[in-house]
Amino acid sequence: MALIKASIVGATGYTGAILTDLLSGHPDVRMHALTSKAYIGRKVSGVFPGLRVDGTYTEYSAGAVSGSDVAFVCYPHGEAHGVVAELVDKGCRVVDLSADYRLKDPAAYQSWYGFVHPHFDLLQEAVFGLPERYRAEIAKARIVANPGCYPTAMLLSVLPAAAEIDSSVIVDAKSGVSGAGRTPSQKTHFCEVNGDFRAYSEVGHRHTAEMVQELGLAAGKALGVSFTPHLLPVDRGIFSTAYFRLAKGLMGTDRLLARYREFYADEAFVEVCDHVPGLGEVTGTNYCRLTVREDAAAGLVKVFAVIDNLVKGASGQAVQNMNCMFGRPEDAGLRRKV
């Protein structure tokens, strides 16, 4: 099989750096362009001394990047949609790591992200890039909208039960600081975060929109989501706890575990375990580990899930999507730690 020619647009952020690492070690990939605005002309190893990768950052141009079979766009939301449209127009397939193609309702971009989405048709065409749910559609897609990190953990937690959830899901999730990207800010400054712990965006975090959209599609009816993110004083990882009631009432932890195990039996990257998993079990990997319990006294189901926000929550999932798009084994290039 021919090598896949891949480019990364916005390669100097956290997700771009992990993608650079993953793709340079992928047996079926040949790296093409690595673009940047701030580091044009600088060597990868000069910007990220920990990355043993040859290559120099270049300025983005649609002409240069569109010579690739696939481009990974790692820009902030609101900055990515134009680049994605340009590349697709030139015949390049795209995995967009931003939120710019995740929501189907164009009006949602105005209310959740504060901009008018100019590419209605492409929005309808884009496939939500959760392989465990949409791998057949991803295989044919021109645009794959890589899910957000929190929605990845939340959706994998609820999909096996979605059709039976009564009315809503509460999501209580904690993320490491790299979830905020590489640009420094006071909120993510070491002295502000180290030794502290708190919730943020306590009502209406933007990821709620894609959780509601995808949960509703999986359940076949509209369900509510109340999502509270927290900032953990660690660099990587998400610990998510989802709470919901089943419309038909209690079924017991053993049956729930059996249901979840059966649902994910053929998945390379979702591991249903007996114990409550910790972040350290998945850091640097593309795995989601989860377990489920029934809290009979409260009439609730609780699902505990962990992922690495930069791998299964971003760059690893993006590579898993590329593998689907180009007919490669889903785990190709994803079996080592990054």
Ligand X SMILES: NC(=O)c1ccc[n+]([C@@H]2O[C@H](COP(=O)([O-])OP(=O)(O)OC[C@H]3O[C@@H](n4cnc5c(N)ncnc54)[C@H](OP(=O)(O)O)[C@@H]3O)[C@@H](O)[C@H]2O)c1
Q: From the list 33, 171, 193, 314, which residue makes contact with ligand X (rule: CB under 6 A)?
A: 314
Is 323 a binder of ligand X (CB under 6 A)?
Answer: no
Is 76 a binder of ligand X (CB under 6 A)?
Answer: yes
Burial of 266 (0-12, 13-18, 19+ CB in 10 A): exposed
Tokens describing residue 169: 């899901």
Is 79 a binder of ligand X (CB under 6 A)?
Answer: yes
The DSSP annotation for 204-248 comes to T-THHHHHHHHHHHHHTS--EEEEEEEE-SSSS-EEEEEEEEETT
Q: Which residue has the tokens 């889903």?
A: 330
- Rounded to whole angstroms, the maximal C-alpha distance in the chain is 61
| Eight-state DSSP code of residue 146 | P
**149 catalytic, yes or no?**
yes
Helix (H) or strand (E) holding 22: helix 14-24
Is 77 a binder of ligand X (CB under 6 A)?
Answer: yes
Is 13 a binder of ligand X (CB under 6 A)?
Answer: yes
User: Quick one: which segment of 70-78, 114-122, 164-172, 249-257 binds ligand X (CB under 6 A)?
Assistant: 70-78
Q: From the list 14, 72, 128, 244, which residue makes contact with ligand X (rule: CB under 6 A)?
A: 14
Residues 115-174 that bind ligand X (CB under 6 A): 148-149
Grouping H, G, I as helix, E, B as strand and the rest as coil, residue 66 is coil
Is 229 a binder of ligand X (CB under 6 A)?
Answer: no
User: Quick one: which segment of 68-76, 156-164, 213-221, 241-249 binds ligand X (CB under 6 A)?
Assistant: 68-76
Closest distance of CB 100 from ligand X, Å: 8
Is 74 a binder of ligand X (CB under 6 A)?
Answer: yes
Is 113:134 a contact under the CB 8 Å cutoff? no
Is 179 a binder of ligand X (CB under 6 A)?
Answer: yes
| Eight-state DSSP code of residue 58 | B
| Eight-state DSSP code of residue 11 | T
Is 98 a binder of ligand X (CB under 6 A)?
Answer: yes
Tokens describing residue 264: 């994910």
Closest distance of CB 217 from ligand X, Å: 20
The DSSP annotation for 159-176 comes to GGGGGGEEEEEEEEEEE-
Q: How far apart are CA 336 and CA 338, in angstroms?
A: 7
Closest distance of CB 99 from ligand X, Å: 6
3-class SS shares of the chain: helix, strand, coil, % to 5: 35, 25, 40
Is 75 a binder of ligand X (CB under 6 A)?
Answer: yes
Q: From the list 20, 29, 39, 123, which residue makes contact with ligand X (rule: CB under 6 A)?
A: 39
Of residues 77 and 289, the one with the C-beta less far from ligand X: 77
Nearest to 24 by CA among 55, 50, 2: 55
User: Quick one: which segment of 11-19, 162-170, 217-225, 288-296 binds ligand X (CB under 6 A)?
Assistant: 11-19
Is 313 a binder of ligand X (CB under 6 A)?
Answer: yes
Q: Tell me the residue nearest to ligand X as measured from the CB.
A: 13
Q: How far apart are CA 70 and CA 246, in angstroms?
A: 41
| Eight-state DSSP code of residue 314 | I
Identify the active-site residue in 74, 92, 149, 288.
149
Q: Which residues bind ligand X (CB under 6 A)?
A: 10-16, 36-39, 74-77, 79, 97-98, 148-149, 178-179, 181-183, 309-310, 313-314
Catalytically annotated residues: 149
